[in-house]
Structure 1
Amino acid sequence: MDEPRNHLNTEKENSINNLKNMNQSTIQNLVYVIRDQQVMMDCDLAKLYQVETRVLNQAVKRNISRFPESFRFQITSREYEDLKSQFVISSSDNGADNYGGRRTLPYVFTEQGIAMLSAVLKSPTAIQVSIRIMETFVEIRRYMVSSTWMLDKINRLELCQMDYQRRTDKQIEQILDFIADHAEVTQRVFFEGQIYDAFSLLADLVSSAEKTLVLVDNYVDINTLNILSKKKQNVSVFVYTMKRTKLTGKDIENFNSQYPSLEVKYTRTFHDRFMIVDETRAYHIGASLKDAGKKCFAINLLEDNTIIRDITRRLELEAEETG
C-alpha cells in the first residue's frame, strides 16, 4: 500500500524526497507551533529519514519508554483543523473522516523527541538528518530572539530622519552580530542523544573567553581538548583534573603547539565540573565535557560572583604538584 499523502505539505513533498536537496529552509517550512511548542509531524520526519511513516512510528512504539509526552504526542482533531487553516486547505482536499489520507490523527515530535529518533532508527541517514534538524531548531531560536529584540528597536528607529538611514542600517547589522555573539546562557538541559547541541553550546562558551578559561573536570581526554580548541588565540586555559586522567603529556604538548597555551594541574578536591570564563562568569556543568550529550545533564550560570572567588581560591590551595 502506498504511503498516504500529507495534504498539509503537498507543495513541499518534491523538495524533501532527496537528502541531497535538504536545506534549513526546507526543514523550517516543516516546523509548526502546537501547544506553544515547536514540533514536526511524523509523516514529514519519515520523508526526511527516508522511511515510511508506519515504520517510523513502529520504531517509536518499540522504544516507547524513550518518548514521554514531552517528546512525542498525538494532536487532537481541533489542532489538526487549526493546522490545516494555516495553509488555507479547503474541505474538498481532505475527507472529513480521514486526516490527509490517514486513518488516525498524526503524531508530532518536539526537539527532544527528534533528537531521540536518531538513536532509535540507528542509520547513517537518521544521524545526518537529525544533525541538520537540530541545526535548524538552533537557527529558529536565534531568529526568534533577535526578532523580538529588533521589533522594539526598529519602532524607535522609525522616528529618526531619513538622513540617518544609512547609519541605522549599519547599527542594525551590528546589533544582530552582537546578539549572535553575546547571547547569555543561564540554564540549559540536554537530553540523551543531544550530542551536537551540547558540543555547540560548550564550544560557544569556550570561544566567548577573551583572556582566561578555567576548567575543573576530573575526567578529561582528547575529546575535551577538541572543545577547548575553539578558544580564541590568546586565551590561556587552565585545566584542573585528577592524576589518573587519560590526557597524556604528549596530548598537552601537541595541543600547545597549535593552540597555546594550556596548563594542566591536578586536584582531588572537586567532584562537580565547573568552567570559569575571564574570572567573571562561572558555569556549573553536570557532565564531563568529553561525555556531553551522551546522557541527560544540565549547564547553569552561577549568579553569585563570590562563588568564582571561592572556587579560584580553593583551586590555588588544593592544586597538587604536576610532577
Structure 2
Amino acid sequence: MGADLATLYEVPTKRFNEAVKRNAARFTADFMFQLDTDEWEALRSQFAASNAGRGGRRYRPFAFTEHGAIMAAMILNSARAVEVSTYVVRAFLRLREAAMQHKDLFERLSSLEEKTGALAMLRDTFSRDTRNQLRQV
C-alpha cells in the first residue's frame, strides 16, 4: 500500500500520495490499483484499525505492483527513494551486460532450437506419410 511505500522511501504518507497524484499518468492499472471494498474490509480485519467514521483512513487505499513501487521511487526525491531507483537501474545494466557476455551461448541455443524444430517437422511429415501409405495397403 502507499503508506508502506512511503515508509520504505522515508517520506510522509501525505507527501507520497501527493507525488503519486501529481504523476498519475505514470501509474497505469498494471502499476497501481485501488482495493475494492471487500479487499479493504478483509485487510482491515487483519490488523487493529479504527472504526469507519471515527478517524483513520476515509478511503480505500491504493496497492502498487513491483513496477509501481519502482516508479514511485523514481518520482520521489528522498535520499532513500533515489538510492532504490539507482539500485534498480544498476541491476538492469548488469543484466544487460550479462546477456551481452553470453551472446554466443544465446546464438547456439537459437541454432539448436531451429534444428530441433526442423527435425520435429520432418518427423511429423514422415509419420503422416507413413500412416497414409499404411492406410492404402
TM bucket normalised to smaller: 0.5 to 0.7
Pairing 1:198–2:26 present? no
Return the letter of the residue paired with 1:105. Answer: R
Return the letter of the residue paired with 1:119. Answer: M
Partner of 1:260: none
Question: 5+ unaligned residues in a row in structure 1: which ranges?
Answer: 1-40, 133-193, 210-274, 283-301, 307-323
The correspondence for 1:62, drawn from 22, 33, 40, is: 22
- Aligned partners of 1:303, 1:110: CA distance in 2, in Å? 36
CA contact (8 A) 1:280 1:305 kept: no
Partner of 2:75: 120
Pairing 1:82–2:42 present? yes
**Shift of residue 197, structure 1, vs aligned partner:** 4.2
CA contact (8 A) 2:35 2:61 kept: yes
**Shift of residue 43, structure 1, vs aligned partner:** 0.4
Return the letter of the residue paired with 2:63. Answer: V
Return the letter of the residue paired with 1:126. Answer: A
Partner of 2:105: 277
Distance 1:48 1:98, change over 3 A: farther
Distance 1:277 1:107, change over 3 A: same
CA contact (8 A) 1:99 1:105 kept: no
- Aligned partners of 1:204, 1:110: CA distance in 2, in Å? 26
Pairing 1:107–2:62 present? yes
Runs of 4+ in 1 over 4 A off after TM superposition: none
Say which SS state the counterpart of residue 44 (structure 1) adopts: helix
**Shift of residue 63, structure 1, vs aligned partner:** 1.1
Distance 1:111 1:196, change over 3 A: farther
- Aligned partners of 1:52, 1:59: CA distance in 2, in Å? 11
Partner of 1:305: 114
Question: 5+ unaligned residues in a row in structure 2: which ranges?
Answer: 116-137
Looking at secondary structure, tell me which structure has more helix per residue: 2
Distance 1:63 1:69, change over 3 A: same
CA contact (8 A) 1:118 1:130 kept: yes
- Aligned partners of 1:277, 1:94: CA distance in 2, in Å? 54
CA contact (8 A) 1:43 1:53 kept: yes
Say which SS state the counterpart of residue 281 (structure 1) adopts: helix
Say which SS state the counterpart of residue 28 (structure 2) adopts: coil
Q: How does 1:42-191 map to 2 (within 5 A)?
A: 42-85=2-45, 87=46, 89=47, 93-97=48-52, 101-130=56-85
Partner of 1:153: none
Query: TM-score when scaled to structure 1?
Result: 0.31
Partner of 2:131: none
**Shift of residue 78, structure 1, vs aligned partner:** 1.0
CA contact (8 A) 2:9 2:73 kept: no
- Aligned partners of 1:100, 1:48: CA distance in 2, in Å? 24
Distance 1:98 1:121, change over 3 A: farther
**Shift of residue 47, structure 1, vs aligned partner:** 1.0
Distance 1:276 1:75, change over 3 A: same
Query: TM-score when scaled to structure 2?
Result: 0.65
Identity %: 35
